[in-house]
C-alpha cells in the first residue's frame, strides 16, 4: 500500500495513544535492527519496550512457531486441556524461578498478569488493602492503574479499585505504621527497579526490608518483573541481585519471544486459591495461547543456553561506561542502571526531547519514560553485538552535539 495512504488510514482508523506518534513505517526486523519501508536500517535500543530480549525474529523462536502451526492453535480456554507448549513452558519457568515459586497462570499481557496476581492475593489472604510505591507503573487496566504511583494518570479514570495505599520508594523507615504494611494488607506490589519511573534502583536494603515487613504482617509480596525479567538486568530475574524471594513473580514482555504472553508465577498454596470456592473464578480464553507459549519456551531456552543474563551484565557495564564519558554534554547529567536496563538523566525535558529526536534522526531508537520527562530509557536486545553497542554509542555522541 502507498505510504501516504497507509499513514492516512493509520491516523483515521487506529485509536491514537498520543497526539504525535513516532510514525516509523516498519518493513522488517531482525536481531537488533528494524528496517523501514524506505530501506533505512534503525538500530533498536528499546526492543519494543523490553520485549525482544533474544532479538527480533530469533531463528529458534521462528522454528518453534512454525512447528506449532502444524499442530494446533486455540483449542480450549486456559486450564482445561493438556497443551504441551503451556505445560513445558510452565515447567521450565519453575526450574529457574527461586523456590518455592513453581506454579504459573498464563495471561495475554503484563497488565492481565497484574490483575490476576491481585485477585489471587485478595482471595488467598482474605484481606482487602494493597500497598504500592510512588512513581510505580503496573499497567493500564483498572486494577493495575489502582496501584500505579502517579496520581495525575489515575485521576481521569477514578474511582478505581478501592483500598490501595502508596508509600515512598526506597525509604525503609516508611514501611511500618498504620498507613504502611500491616495486618490489613493483602499484598505489596512493586518493581525491583522502577523502569517507567525513571530507571530508579533500590538501595541494597530496601527490597529486603519490604520482604521482612510483608512476612511479619502476613502480606504477600508481588514482584512485577514484566520489564526486568528474563536476563534484562544481568540476572535471570532482578530479585536475584538482592537475594529476595517474593510470593509471586509477575512476568510478560520478553516472556513470549515476540508474541503476546504474560503470567504470574507463585507459591503452590497461593496459586491454588484460584481453583476453588468457587472454581472457575478466574479465567482467560486466550491466555497461554499455544503459539505464544511455543515461542516463549524457545526464547527461554535461548536465554538459558546462551547465558544471556551474563551477556547483558557485560554489555551493560560497557554501555554505561561509554555513556558516563558523555555526561556534561547536551544536558546529559548522569547515567544509571543494571545490566541492559539503563536510564540517562538530562537537566531539562527540552534537552531530553532533543536528544531522543536527534538519535531517531540518526537511526537509533530508544525510549522516553512515561513518568519522567528528563530520563531516556535504554533496553536493547540482550544479543547486542560489540559492534552494534559501539555504533549506538557513536550515534549518541553525535546526538549530544
How does pLDDT run across 262-294, given as a tens digit for each residue?
A: 999 999 999 999 999 998 889 999 999 999 999
β-strands 262-266, 248-251 pairing: antiparallel
77 & 140 share domain: yes
Q: Give DSSP secondary structure letters for 125-164.
A: H---EEEEETT----SSHHHHHT-S-HHHHGGG-S-SSSE
26 & 75 share domain: no
| Positive or negative: CA dihedral 67, 88, 211, 221 | positive
201 DSSP 8-state letter: P
Q: At what angle do helices 84-96 and 290-305 cross, to 10 degrees?
A: 30
37 & 112 share domain: no
Residue 31 and residue 56 in contact, taking contact as beta carbons nearer than 8 Å: yes
Rounded to whole angstroms, the Cα distance separating 295 from 164 reads 35
Q: Which three cell numbers stand for residue 176?
A: 511500618
Residue 85 host element (H or E): helix 84-96
181 & 267 share domain: yes
Rounded to whole angstroms, the Cα distance separating 239 from 85 reads 26
46 & 65 share domain: no
**Higher-pLDDT residue of 99, 22:** 99
Tell me the three state secondary structure of residue 288: coil
Contact partners, residue 186, CB within 8 Å, separation at least 6: 121, 122, 124, 125, 126, 127, 128, 129, 130, 219, 220
Range of the domain at 316: 3-57+307-400
324 & 219 share domain: no
Rounded to whole angstroms, the Cα distance separating 131 from 177 reads 13
> Looking at residues 246-261, what average pLDDT do you find?
98
135 & 231 share domain: yes
The pLDDT assigned to 205 comes to 97
The pLDDT assigned to 369 comes to 67
pLDDT of 151 strictly over 80:
yes
Of the residues 284, 305, 326, the one at which a domain ends: 305
pLDDT in tens, 72-108: 999 998 889 999 999 999 999 999 999 999 999 999 9
Above pLDDT 70, what percent of the chain? 100
Of the residues 305, 328, 349, the one at which a domain ends: 305
The pLDDT assigned to 17 comes to 85
pLDDT in tens, 227-242: 999 999 999 999 999 9
53 & 76 share domain: no
322 & 298 share domain: no
Using 50, 70 and 90 to split pLDDT, how confident is the model at 371? Answer: confident
Predicted model pTM: 0.96
Q: Which three cell numbers stand for residue 73?
A: 492453535
Residue 325 host element (H or E): none
329 & 216 share domain: no
| Positive or negative: CA dihedral 171, 135, 252, 304 | negative
Q: Which three cell numbers stand for residue 314?
A: 557485560
Residue 38 vs residues 2, 34, 35, 82, 398: alpha-carbon distances, Å: 12, 12, 8, 45, 23
The pLDDT assigned to 370 comes to 65
Q: CA-based angle 305:310:315, to the nearest 5?
A: 125
Using 50, 70 and 90 to split pLDDT, how confident is the model at 393? Answer: very high
Amino acid at each position: 500500500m502507498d505510504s501516504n495512504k497507509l499513514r492516512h488510514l493509520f491516523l483515521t482508523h487506529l485509536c491514537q495513544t498520543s497526539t504525535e506518534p513516532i510514525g516509523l513505517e516498519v518493513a522488517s526486523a531482525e536481531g537488533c535492527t528494524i528496517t523501514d519501508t524506505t530501506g533505512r536500517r534503525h538500530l533498536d535500543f528499546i526492543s519494543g519496550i523490553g520485549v525482544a530480549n533474544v532479538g527480533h525474529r530469533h531463528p529458534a523462536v521462528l522454528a518453534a512457531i512454525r512447528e506449532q502451526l502444524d499442530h494446533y492453535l486455540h483449542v480450549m480456554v486456559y486450564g482445561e486441556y493438556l497443551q504441551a507448549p503451556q505445560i513445558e513452558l510452565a515447567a521450565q519457568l519453575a526450574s529457574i524461578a527461586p523456590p518455592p515459586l513453581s506454579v504459573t497462570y498464563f495471561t495475554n499481557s503484563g497488565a492481565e498478569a497484574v490483575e490476576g496476581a491481585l485477585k489471587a492475593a485478595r482471595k488467598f489472604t482474605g484481606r482487602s488493602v494493597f500497598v504500592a510505591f510512588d512513581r510505580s507503573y503496573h499497567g493500564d487496566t483498572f486494577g493495575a492503574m489502582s496501584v500505579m504511583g502517579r496520581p495525575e494518570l489515575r485521576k481521569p479514570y477514578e474511582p478505581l479499585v478501592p483500598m490501595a495505599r502508596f508509600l515512598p520508594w526506597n525509604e525503609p523507615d516508611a514501611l511500618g505504621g498504620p498507613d504502611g504494611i500491616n495486618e490489613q494488607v493483602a499484598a505489596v506490589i512493586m518493581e525491583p527497579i522502577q523502569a517507567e519511573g525513571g530507571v530508579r534502583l533500590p538501595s541494597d536494603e530496601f527490597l529486603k526490608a519490604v520482604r521482612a515487613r510483608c512476612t511479619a504482617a502476613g502480606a504477600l509480596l508481588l514482584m512485577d518483573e514484566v520489564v526486568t525479567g528474563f536476563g534484562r538486568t544481568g540476572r535471570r530475574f532482578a530479585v536475584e541481585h538482592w537475594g529476595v524471594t517474593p510470593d509471586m513473580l509477575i512476568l510478560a514482555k520478553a516472556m513470549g519471544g515476540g508474541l503476546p504472553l504474560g503470567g504470574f508465577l507463585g507459591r503452590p498454596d497461593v496459586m491454588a486459591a484460584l481453583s476453588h470456592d468457587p472454581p472457575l473464578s478466574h479465567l482467560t480464553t486466550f491466555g497461554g495461547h499455544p503459539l505464544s507459549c511455543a515461542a516463549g519456551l524457545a526464547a527461554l531456552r535461548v536465554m538459558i543456553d546462551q547465558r544471556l543474563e551474563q551477556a547483558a551484565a557485560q554489555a551493560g557495564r560497557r554501555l554505561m561506561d561509554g555513556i558516563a564519558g558523555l555526561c556534561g554534554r547536551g544536558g546529559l547529567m548522569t547515567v544509571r542502571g543494571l545490566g541492559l536496563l539503563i536510564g540517562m538523566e538530562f537537566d531539562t525535558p527540552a534537552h531530553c526531547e532533543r536528544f531522543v529526536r536527534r538519535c531517531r534522526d540518526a537511526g537509533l531508537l530508544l525510549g522516553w519514560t512515561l513518568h519522567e520527562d528528563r530520563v531516556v530509557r535504554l533496553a536493547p536486545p540482550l544479543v547486542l553485538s560489540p559492534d552494534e553497542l559501539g555504533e549506538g554509542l557513536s550515534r549518541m555522541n553525535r546526538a549530544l552535539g
